[in-house]
Structure 1
Amino acid sequence: MPATRSSGPAGPSTWRATALVVSLFSAGCASIPAGADGYMSGNDAHVLELDPVAAAWIEETIAELDLRQRVAQLVFPWIPGGAISERSDEFARIRRWIEREEVGGLIVSRGQASEFAPMLNRLQLLASVPLLIVSDLETGPGMRLTGGTDMPPAMAFGAAGDEDLAYEAGRVTAVEARSVGIHMTLGPILDVNSNPLNPIINTRSFGEQGAAVGRLASAWIRGARDGGLQTVGKHFPGHGATELDSHDHLPTIKADLEQLNGIELVPFRAAVGSGLHGILVGHIAVPAIAGPTAPPASLSPDVVTGLLREQLGFDGLVFTDALNMGAIVNNYTVEEAAILALRAGVDVLLQPPDHGDVIDAIVDAVRSGRLDRQRVDEAVRRVLTAKAAASLHDGISVQALGWSAPASHEAVARRISGAGITLARDRARLVPIGPDVHRILQISYSSAGRRFVTGALNASLADSQREIETTQVGERTPAGEYQRLRERAKLADLVIVSASLVPRQSQGPLDLRGGISEFVEGVVAEGIPVLVISFGSPYLLDYFPSVDSYLLGWSGDRQAQRAIADALLGRSPIRGRLPVSLPPHHTVGDGIDRSEAQGAGTP
């Protein structure tokens, strides 16, 4: 039956949530039943089978909403995660968005996991229609929930090539997200990272082969669906072949129709058939679809309606990427962009600045005839359908009691970290580290503003009864320090150079800067064994083409460092394969196997 309504601050028909206390993780892990979101599986997986009560709630709710309230349901502002004091300006602002503007949902950022549920429950009680809560959980719940499980980036799954691990990662993410009141995640990434110079996708992608990306992403989607979490694939029709970051500029997909169909769109087709609930359309120009003066795909009827809706047959929820990004605000007013997005066929307007003005502008566009009211109603119906799929028509709130991520979830993350380790090159058989290696010089490279600390790796190596000398370098390290390190390298049995370059918004190209490349090439030229470990972007080998051994760990978090240490010390096997090519050095599928015992030992 429809959610209970009573009078309240938002008007005469304010929805009031019926509390359902869900105690997760206190004794194992309770998961949402498979199929709880009401979505089908198989080729028509994006089509909903709602029960009559849910379907009736959707129609009753639409009938109660006037034009401005309907438009507001399409707007999803950003809020911080965790606890927000009810006396703070921040809470007053969010309260105004919910009670006065009556927005349809929220995208939630980072905060303490234990504080999410109480905060979201309070906000739900303010809403005239239940809020759809969305969060970006690309690298697992820990990306937003402090205390949640951190997962490796997608490219580690590509290196492991294991659908079961991808499924488990999706399920773990779902269980933890749903336990705190998150209904939908903006993931997985469906971009095919075919351009090594891409500054913003990189390790966020499963790889450079469309079929492999689709296969692993589909497994992740199935896991998330079975855990009760709705998924939104991104960035349609593909951000992997671009050279610009859409947070700052408008990138262009230069591919023709044949390449789009054969590469970029392959994972999206697979994901739609695996139960994908929504698709986020990128701020990316696609001339092959929309012509030489192509607007951002998110504002293009040719892309959203012509390609996504009609050709791919997707009838689920469609999001814009964030409307505060440079690709939009540098070229349009936010109000104009929002109207164009809705005209193009988008349903949800994500993070528009000044969203009260945006709502007003859309209402004016409908009244003037510039935007068809039927288009608004169609979008509202999809938003409410997603809410019903999350059982919000039953007025459900959650409370996580004694919240902590279970050990079984951490074990999944550790397995993925270990399975993804890839030994691309080992000419001098430096891996695993042999018993004749007594002294190790371990150098960590940090990019400007991002200190990369290899404490977990260093501690594990030191525990192996070896003498470990550690140091940090970066793009501003003076030449004199590199000269000192050259002398120290001559005293070492092995030099390890660790670097972590990971895609972050607005940081520009993923380059190794300063004297690190010249230093490594010089040490190799002197015949000193050097092992380079990338804890991020795989495309670093161009900076060290002469290096003997190149190992990929994909992430610099503690779990990845410990997994790398176990592999270096022969405690665990290495079986990963490159999910991307490293031209001209290595191709997709390259990788050297090492068993647990080969050459390993303590000095």
Structure 2
Amino acid sequence: MHHSFLRIFIFFSLAIGVCNCASKKEVNAKPVVNTIDTIHEFKQNEIGKSTVSRKEKFPFLKDSDGESKWVDSIYGKMTLDEKLGQLFMISAYSNKDSVHFNMIDRMIRNYKIGGLIFFQGGPGRQARLTNRFQSKSKIPLFIAIDAEWGVSMRLDSTYRFPWNMTLGAIKDKELIRKVGTQMGKESKRLGINFNFAPVLDINTNPKNPIIGFRSFGEDKVNVTSSAIALMKGVQGENVFSTGKHFPGHGDTETDSHYSLPLVNFTKERLEQVELYPYRQMFDEGLVSVMVAHLNVPSLEPRDSYPSSISYNVVTGLLQKEMGFDGLIFTDALNMKAASNYRKPGEIDLEAFLAGNDMLLCAEDVPTAMEKLCVAYQDSLFSEERLAYSVKKILKFKYKAGLNHYKPINTANISADINPSENTALQYQLYENAITVLKNKETLLPIKSIEKTRIAYVKLGDDNNTSFVSTLKKYTEVTEIADANIDSLNVKLKNFDLVIVGFHKSDKAWKNHAFSETEIQWVNQLALQNKVILDVFTKPYSLSAIPDFSEIEGLIVSYQNSDIAQEVSAELIFGAIDAKGKLPVSISNDFKVNFGLPTEKLDRLGFTAPENVGMNPKILAKIDSIAQKAIDGKMTPGAQVLVARKGKVIYQKSFGYHSYDNVRKVQNSDVYDLASLTKILATLPNVMQAYDKGKVTLDTKLGVMLPVFANTDKKDIAFKELLSHYARFEAWIPFYKSTLDSNKIPMEKYYRKVPDEVFSKQVADSLYILKDYNDTIMKAIANSRLLPKKEYKYSDFTFLILKEYLEKINHKTLDVQAYENFYRFLGANNTLFNPLQKFVKTDIPPTEVDKYFRHQVLQGYVHDMAAAMEGGVAGHAGLFSNAMDVAKIMQMYLQKGHYGGHTYFSEKTFNEFNTCYFCAEGNRRALGFDKQQLPGTQGPTCGCVSASSFGHTGFTGTYAWADPETEIVYIFLSNRTYPDASAPNALSKNNIREDIQKVIQEAIIK
């Protein structure tokens, strides 16, 4: 207790300036340092002998005239206290209270410290504190941070880049340089001068408790090239990089935060491995080095003597032998590997005598200053030695621009350090990092989704939402779970493939290992099923699995971030190919630098707008337009999707299913597509028939269907039919003739309960005669033709084409659409009569029908004629969500190809996407709608290309694709709810067209 009070008294006495170096000199006090074993001679001309070439190669390392004048001017005016204070960089936190902040104020005021290293907190708080502390310092402070994966390593509300081990899997080092650039930008914006990164430790020991994922890996060449790339990015933003932990912390089994690790290698081995990246980094312009607390007997003969305070290591090896002339930091001196060895103050003095320039995180700055002061008075180090470090510190303060220090502008700081391009880069990083280790019989990517029943099983204790939701965007994937492995395997018997996702926390220093139970489950699952194991954690986790022979597919996705999950799902289905290589060895089968390539299929993937040349800020305007429609009650809700160059870059849902605001619209909900049915169900099957030569552009309607053979419509050509140039009426309200005077369905045509005669369902508890379709076709055959040939949009075309397809293929249209297209496309949410598969709550209602069916239409087609055909018609009846519609439109954009499957020839697509009657004022292609002709109204913003195509739907739907810009745009809504006869405000306000205009404006020229 006595010692504790004495220590507190000394601390506060020093804090108010009771002791100072000048008074010590005057009384010629005896040194208080009595634990220093050796006093080393300092000769400045022996240091940095080989650095002339560094300064010539990197101009920013040169000593300019202005720099030298500033440094000499400042140094010449400094007291001994101020010089000694520059050696210290102390810990600061922006998440602590005023007691902490006031303490730092005192340290700046009374001890003239040289810098701060910030730890936990937030960006805005840290920026404000930096301004506060800088304002109190006579000489601007260095501001540093450990930002190995960005400032998010320490600060909340900031962007987290991947760990170094994830980056180590990437072969394209330019991507890692881009990471460094983004890290540099965020540090610069926060007033940070030093990023204590990159980690240069070569992690050859899988049991390393403190480095591990912080290392780029175990291959010294890969570690070095990755670190150089990161450093160049950071330093390119005038933020200094610090290589650590010298001379190498990679092959240890002890955490230096708690005790002193042993590195028991020969000098030759250290030269070959641990020191290799440092020599290369010095030649590339590394500004600073952090020296670790390690016991390295081959470099320092004294037993258990930390490298951070070893003259042999810091001066003899780092500066003299390796020629490093940059700034040298100790690792934190409050770490047990250091603090256990010497008392506060003593460790700081020894670190300085060893040759370090800046003393990081001293436990007791007042005591350390006192020790240094006394040592100076007793000539344990010279003025020359002190000047060498202090002037070096000042020199780099000048290089950092601190000679013209300006406070940080705190306005918009959060937005500035979280730019959207970070997300764009993150996609690229995982696309290049995720590594395939096994691919038996080229299981990856999964090609034949039409005949593969897929289950997903989760292991691990962290979130898997993005992975599962993205898997389900490609095909049907069933989540299976059970607390018992035997019961689980029973449930999996009906599946052809099991995807096992191992999801562990994406937070640093969490447990990422498989449990014993999970290892047993992996083995049991692999024995009884065809398994793809995808691990969302560091690759070392796989070391616990003794045998991979029964696993067909093995993927390392490295981290459990949302983007990692999304990209990994893309790889499984071939939207991207595998490029990553293992940064470390896992077993004899999977050595460092191993990684299998996979095939890339032409399926839709996912990315950030910038990666396909789109401006996300402009694209974000879609939100306000869509919300305008919701707020204006133009539609209760909507889905919007935008894809470019085969990548979905925008997919959002807005509003609710209805105006009661109960059920929010989800991306997975299925909408009544109305007339989009024409190009999404009927037309692709017509194109296949055309591709097979079953019909030509000149084939006559009378030949196609006998019902028209003896009518005035018999000579209508196929080309005219599909171009809405056949003189047909727009439509006939077929349903009206089946209602009584009270607008009630007559028993002559309908029943409430189905039977063999009344088997086609029109709506809930309403069934029509099964052969009423014949009546509809006869009505069309007997309908009047318009007096002159001109463009007239008509539903008759696709009612006829459905009849034709069913006649030649002997299958109903819904079956044809599924068997020929949807099952191959993975469009499993696209179907007629969706209540066969979905519950009502997944389907937004389309209308409150008061004129025919007298009920809320939810899951039943709104279009009356389509309803009378049992929900399956050529012009309407299809339900889907935006993602599935995009797949079909992407297939068109790729001219009949998608997912490695060919549906029809490119020639066929080109012929169907041709406007044959534009000269006559008819903009239509064969089935497709086209951009409006000059001077006319039409379906687009007027800003898409002439080669673009698509369609609109009465319920407020829209699908458009543009081959020139490679853009697919989908808008789905239920604007007809509750009253389909109400004015079409969605159309009058140009909501869909305005969104399309924004999409075009977002293209980066």
Question: TM-score scaled by structure 2?
Answer: 0.52
Measure, in 2, the Cα distance between the counterparts of 1:503 and 1:148.
14
**Structure 2 counterparts to residues 72-91 of structure 1, below 5 A:** 72-81=85-94, 88-91=98-101
Measure, in 1, the Cα distance between the counterparts of 2:371 and 2:494.
69
Answering whether residue 365 of structure 2 is matched by residue 355 of structure 1, we say yes
Q: CA shift at 1:542, angstroms?
A: 3.4
- Structure 2 counterpart SS, 1:494: strand
Q: Which residue of 2 aligns with 1:590?
A: 594
- Structure 2 counterpart SS, 1:585: coil
Measure, in 1, the Cα distance between the counterparts of 2:506 and 2:338.
24
- Structure 2 counterpart SS, 1:78: strand
Q: CA shift at 1:79, angstroms?
A: 1.3
- Range moving further from structure 2, 535-544 or 89-98: 535-544
The answer (yes or no) to whether the contact 1:76–1:350 under 8 Å persists in 2 is: yes
Answering whether residue 580 of structure 2 is matched by residue 576 of structure 1, we say yes
Q: Which residue of 2 aligns with 1:68?
A: 81
The answer (yes or no) to whether the contact 1:482–1:515 under 8 Å persists in 2 is: no
Identify which of 494, 498, 515 aligns with 1:494. 498
Q: Which residue of 2 aligns with 1:234?
A: 244
Q: CA shift at 1:304, angstroms?
A: 0.7
Q: Which residue of 1 aligns with 2:456?
A: 441
Taking every aligned residue pair, what percent have the same amino acid on both sides? 27
Q: Which residue of 2 aligns with 1:561?
A: 565
State the one-letter code of the partner of 1:589. N
- Structure 1 counterpart SS, 2:243: strand
- Range moving further from structure 2, 533-542 or 151-160: 533-542
Larger RCO: Structure 1 or Structure 2 (Cα < 8 Å, ≥ 6 residues apart)? 1
Measure, in 1, the Cα distance between the counterparts of 2:57 and 2:172.
25
Measure, in 2, the Cα distance between the counterparts of 1:323 and 1:151.
28
Q: CA shift at 1:482, angstroms?
A: 5.2
Q: Which residue of 2 aligns with 1:408?
A: 421
The answer (yes or no) to whether the contact 1:534–1:540 under 8 Å persists in 2 is: no
The answer (yes or no) to whether the contact 1:47–1:316 under 8 Å persists in 2 is: no
Q: Which residue of 2 aligns with 1:222?
A: 232
Measure, in 1, the Cα distance between the counterparts of 2:64 and 2:151.
30
Unaligned runs of 5+ in 2: 1-15, 18-51, 604-823, 829-1005
Q: CA shift at 1:461, angstroms?
A: 2.2
Unaligned runs of 5+ in 1: 1-9, 12-38, 447-451, 473-479
Question: TM-score scaled by structure 1?
Answer: 0.84
Change (3 A) 1:500 1:269: farther
1:83-110 deviation line (CA, Å, top 9, x unaligned): x77xx22221221222222211011124
Change (3 A) 1:255 1:308: same
1:330-385 deviation line (CA, Å, top 9, x unaligned): 33223221111111111111112222222222222322344444333322112111
- Range moving further from structure 2, 392-401 or 459-468: 459-468
Q: CA shift at 1:462, angstroms?
A: 3.3
1:518-560 deviation line (CA, Å, top 9, x unaligned): 2212222234424141422445243252233321122222222
Identify which of 514, 525, 537 aligns with 2:527. 525
Change (3 A) 1:456 1:373: farther
- Range moving further from structure 2, 115-124 or 381-390: 115-124
Change (3 A) 1:189 1:197: same
1:496-538 deviation line (CA, Å, top 9, x unaligned): 1314478956x7x964334211221222223442414142244
The answer (yes or no) to whether the contact 1:441–1:494 under 8 Å persists in 2 is: yes
Q: Which residue of 1 aligns with 2:214?
A: 204
Count of aligned pairs: 551
State the one-letter code of the partner of 1:244. T
1:553-585 deviation line (CA, Å, top 9, x unaligned): 222222222221221232211111122222322
Change (3 A) 1:301 1:490: farther
The Cα RMSD (Å) is 2.9
Q: CA shift at 1:386, angstroms?
A: 1.5
Measure, in 1, the Cα distance between the counterparts of 2:291 and 2:182.
26
Q: Which residue of 2 aligns with 1:259?
A: 269
The answer (yes or no) to whether the contact 1:179–1:400 under 8 Å persists in 2 is: no
1:378-426 deviation line (CA, Å, top 9, x unaligned): 2211211121110101123221432312222321222112111111222
**Structure 2 counterparts to residues 93-108 of structure 1, below 5 A:** 93-108=103-118
Q: CA shift at 1:488, angstroms?
A: 4.8
- Range moving further from structure 2, 413-422 or 313-322: 413-422
- Structure 2 counterpart SS, 1:194: coil
1:282-316 deviation line (CA, Å, top 9, x unaligned): 11111111126241111111111111001110011
State the one-letter code of the partner of 1:355. V
Measure, in 1, the Cα distance between the counterparts of 2:521 and 2:154.
38
1:456-512 deviation line (CA, Å, top 9, x unaligned): 22222233343442779xxxxxxx65565555555653041314478956x7x9643
Q: Which residue of 1 aligns with 2:838?
A: none
Measure, in 2, the Cα distance between the counterparts of 1:306 and 1:318.
13
State the one-letter code of the partner of 2:527. A
Q: Which residue of 2 aligns with 1:32?
A: none
**Structure 2 counterparts to residues 304-319 of structure 1, below 5 A:** 304-319=314-329
Identify which of 403, 413, 436 aligns with 1:423. 436
Answering whether residue 387 of structure 2 is matched by residue 377 of structure 1, we say yes
Measure, in 2, the Cα distance between the counterparts of 1:94 and 1:71.
17
- Range moving further from structure 2, 579-588 or 244-253: 579-588
- Structure 1 counterpart SS, 2:345: helix
Measure, in 2, the Cα distance between the counterparts of 1:375 and 1:485.
70
Change (3 A) 1:423 1:530: closer
The answer (yes or no) to whether the contact 1:58–1:384 under 8 Å persists in 2 is: yes
Q: CA shift at 1:164, angstroms?
A: 0.9
1:166-225 deviation line (CA, Å, top 9, x unaligned): 211111111111012111100111111112222222222222121222122112212212
The answer (yes or no) to whether the contact 1:489–1:523 under 8 Å persists in 2 is: no
Change (3 A) 1:601 1:369: farther
Change (3 A) 1:598 1:354: same
The answer (yes or no) to whether the contact 2:457–2:481 under 8 Å persists in 1 is: yes
Change (3 A) 1:186 1:418: same
Q: Which residue of 2 aligns with 1:49?
A: 62
Q: Which residue of 1 aligns with 2:256?
A: 246
Measure, in 1, the Cα distance between the counterparts of 2:120 and 2:213.
21
Q: CA shift at 1:133, angstroms?
A: 0.3
Measure, in 1, the Cα distance between the counterparts of 2:372 and 2:506.
38
State the one-letter code of the partner of 1:576. G
Q: Which residue of 1 aligns with 2:515?
A: 513
The answer (yes or no) to whether the contact 1:177–1:183 under 8 Å persists in 2 is: yes
- Range moving further from structure 2, 564-573 or 495-504: 495-504
- Range moving further from structure 2, 156-165 or 437-446: 437-446
State the one-letter code of the partner of 1:96. R
